[in-house]
């Protein structure tokens, strides 16, 4: 079984625009090595959402960055708490 190619949103837009200009879908399919089903899916996504429709999850990049930052801050907070507990124990001795 052949591995599927990943296409950038720019390439997908280029393919869809070729299709919308009236070029033969089968020729586009052969030229780019993509199935007609994918071309039709991308066309529908493009019509519905423009190039944002090609992104897997358009708003997830900001959300993912925020979640990573929260995780980093939680780790720093835990380390600071442990450091303070250790310092307090050492001070008592």
Instruction: Compute φ and ψ for 7, nearest 5 degrees.
Output: -110, 140
pLDDT block averages, 10 residues each, the chain of length 93: 73 92 94 94 86 64 82 92 92 83
- 54, with CB counted inside 10 A (0-12, 13-18, 19+), is buried
Per-residue pLDDT, 83 = 93
pLDDT for res 66: 85
12 closest CA partner among 44, 62, 1? 44
């Amino acid at each position: 079984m052949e591995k599927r190619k990943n296409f950038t949103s720019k390439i997908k837009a280029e393919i869809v625009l070729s299709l919308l200009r009236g070029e033969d879908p089968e020729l586009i399919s052969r030229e780019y090595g993509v199935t007609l089903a994918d071309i039709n899916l991308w066309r529908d996504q493009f019509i519905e959402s423009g190039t944002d429709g090609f992104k897997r999850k358009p708003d997830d990049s900001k959300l993912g960055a925020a979640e990573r930052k929260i995780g980093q801050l939680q780790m720093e907070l835990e380390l600071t708490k442990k450091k303070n507990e250790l310092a307090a124990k050492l001070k008592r001795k």
